[in-house]
A and B are shown apart, each in its own frame.
Chain A
């Protein structure tokens, strides 16, 4: 069996309309993959940057997977939320990114999008906040039925992941 180590961090997010953000993240892999150690989901702290636009989380990711096959390569999905001064949480974006398959250090930008409602919803959102959310977060990385969604692009989340592969070349996988 081959092993995959993912070591890195969710650095932060930039390009969102407001700055007080936190992120819920998770890693999802196929059936042939087994997680040996590490937490595969989590939630960062709320960060309010004093200067500049980027909210920094520096949230660590440290995972060790083992696999019997290549199908279902791990994917990292994210939900970026905004918390305002009254304590309300509002969804700011869904995003997902594949864990890179080539070993080494990768600096990745995961773009995010947010679903939009009708124009009445959008007007209400401007005053009261809130907004439609996906019924089930699986839709972020499944892709089916996406054509029914009407979305708007939001900011990007920056990640730095170091990927270490082990024994893949023994089975003839080149990456």
Chain B
């Protein structure tokens, strides 16, 4: 007898970029009575048998039209106030109105009564300002407020306004959950028997709409959308069943308004982008090639404690640096930490920049990169100082983040005397020229021999480097879209690799020119030239 009910009364969330005040909802309620059901059934039958002309529609239309108070339809806008019979009765008497809101209702109701136009009988609304909304929400508190004691830091920081010492209920409710300000509206229906409207117990919530500032609209229950009516059952002695239909009656935005809105947004964004660009500016320092390196490091695995590192950077021939810029440094003395790992952390900032001059084109070799030499020493309480290790690190040729571990060694002298001396008094053989660690500066021959030099492995030092390379040549490279060239290719442009590349590039340019020229030629010329070519090749 009854058509299918929609049982899903969960809330659904909509997002809208338009202002919520344009929202319109059409609400229709209809009481389910036996005659209404029967007449509806017959109505449907009639519709299907229309062609036979057996039953006339007119005879039944009067019956389907139930008494006006058993069905109602209303279009409700956002926060539009419709009065219930109860409210009309209540606010008609001036003495009942206490707050300014109620007084305003009073004037509206009087105006309405005078003009005798009343749109709604059963369906009415509670807007955000009515007391109903607040009661509903407060009755459903989600959390038990917790006490919080102030922390010491906050007490010390006297001008802190971050902490509220005596939070109110409202504050707690708002702060414990993510709470964006939400406006609520309830569409209510007075489902009492006709003639006895205006009783508070017969009020039922038909629909709850919440909208927040971000354009999120929550409607519970959702629009019917041809799913069937919602079923409302009244409490009380006579359990009556009502059908509820909700429909979105908001009008769509006009195309031109939409266009205007989009244009406005686009203007706004471009203007903001221009503003940011103007802040950023246009200039940048241009240099030949510089390498910018930032390092810090830690040392571990050494015999003695209280280590410090003395290091310097060695620049090969074509490299130069800003004078007075420290290329060497000594770190602080650090005792190895006893929490586990026996590591000494230096966290020493060492950043430097060097410039490369590509002077000699006839030089066939790849450029040499700077080398960082370092030595680890220990200094103890009795002011004994010992060398703990020597090592070196070649600055990597690729830019980016590198983390490298270098192992160190220390020179040994034969015999026990040297070791005893080192243990008791301190002092140890040191290298005179630290570049001996890698390739001594005075070395000119072909084979380096370190025969007879005795060393002992000691711990390791871990470096983290950030390398940036900056060269004018890179700009040209990127504009010509030669991204595959690395720095090495750029610098060694005179090498074989470079010359092959130059030839290829020249060929590419010629080919492009030929293709462009070809396009401008008329068609028949190209065909004849093709024929000629085939003849000549044959």
Query: A-side interface residues toward B, CB under 8 Å?
Result: 1-3, 15-17, 22, 32, 36, 46, 66-71, 73, 75, 83, 87, 94-98, 100-102, 106, 110-113, 116, 119, 141-144, 146-156, 169-175
Contacts and interface: CB of A to CB of B under 8 A. Distances in A.
A147 B349 contact: no
- When A and B form their complex, which 4 residue pairs have the shortest distance between CB atoms, in order from nearest? A111-B345, A87-B152, A172-B474, A153-B337
Contacts of B306: 150
A173 B468 contact: yes
B333 A46 contact: no
Contacts of A119: 381
Contact of B466 (A3, A100, A144): A100
A2 B281 CA distance: 8
Contacts of B282: 1
A102 B296 contact: no
Interface residues of B, number: 59
Interface stretch (B228-236, B242-250, B284-292): B284-292
Contacts of B343: 153
Nearest to A64: B276
Given A17-B339, A112-B345, A71 B353 contact: yes
Given A69-B284, A100-B466, A151 B333 contact: yes
A161 B286 CA distance: 28
A15 B285 CA distance: 42
Contacts of A69: 284-285
A1 B334 contact: no
Contacts, number: 171
A116 B331 contact: no
A66 B335 contact: no
Contacts of A141: 349
Given A70-B353, A98-B349, A143-B329, 14 more contacts: A17-B339, A36-B276, A46-B153, A68-B285, A101-B292, A101-B294, A102-B399, A110-B347, A113-B347, A144-B326, A150-B333, A153-B298, A174-B474, A175-B468
Pick the most buried of B333, B345, B469, B487: most chain A CB atoms within 10 A of its CB.
B345
Contact of A96 (B156, B347, B473, B474): B347
B470 A171 contact: yes
A149 B334 CA distance: 8
Contacts of A150: 306, 332-333, 335
B378 to A, nearest CB: 12
26 contacts: A1-B280, A15-B340, A32-B285, A36-B279, A46-B151, A66-B281, A70-B353, A71-B292, A73-B351, A87-B155, A96-B347, A111-B347, A112-B345, A112-B347, A113-B332, A143-B350, A151-B333, A151-B335, A153-B335, A153-B336, A153-B343, A154-B345, A172-B286, A173-B470, A174-B468, A175-B469
Contacts of B8: none
Given A101-B467, A169-B474, A116 B335 contact: yes
B348 interface: yes
Contacts of A3: 280
A152 B468 CA distance: 31
A105 to B, nearest CB: 11
Nearest to B322: A71
A15 B401 contact: no
B347 A154 contact: no
A174 B487 contact: yes
B284 A100 contact: no
Contacts of A111: 296, 298, 345-347
B400 A146 contact: no
A173 B268 CA distance: 32
A173 B344 CA distance: 34
A146 B470 contact: no
Contacts of A152: 334-337
Pick the most buried of B326, B473, B475: most chain A CB atoms within 10 A of its CB.
B475
B308 interface: yes
Contacts of B298: 111, 153
A147 B347 contact: no
Contacts of A71: 292, 353
Contact of B290 (A70, A106, A143): A70
B472 A172 contact: yes
B283 interface: yes
B330 interface: yes
B49 interface: no
A110 B345 CA distance: 9
Contacts of B284: 1-2, 67-69, 171
Contact of B468 (A87, A94, A101): A101
Nearest to A36: B279
Contacts of B308: 147
Interface string B453-473: 000000000000011111111
A22 B294 CA distance: 27
Contacts of A87: 152, 155-156
B349 A153 contact: no
A116 B155 CA distance: 29
Contact of A73 (B153, B294, B474): B294
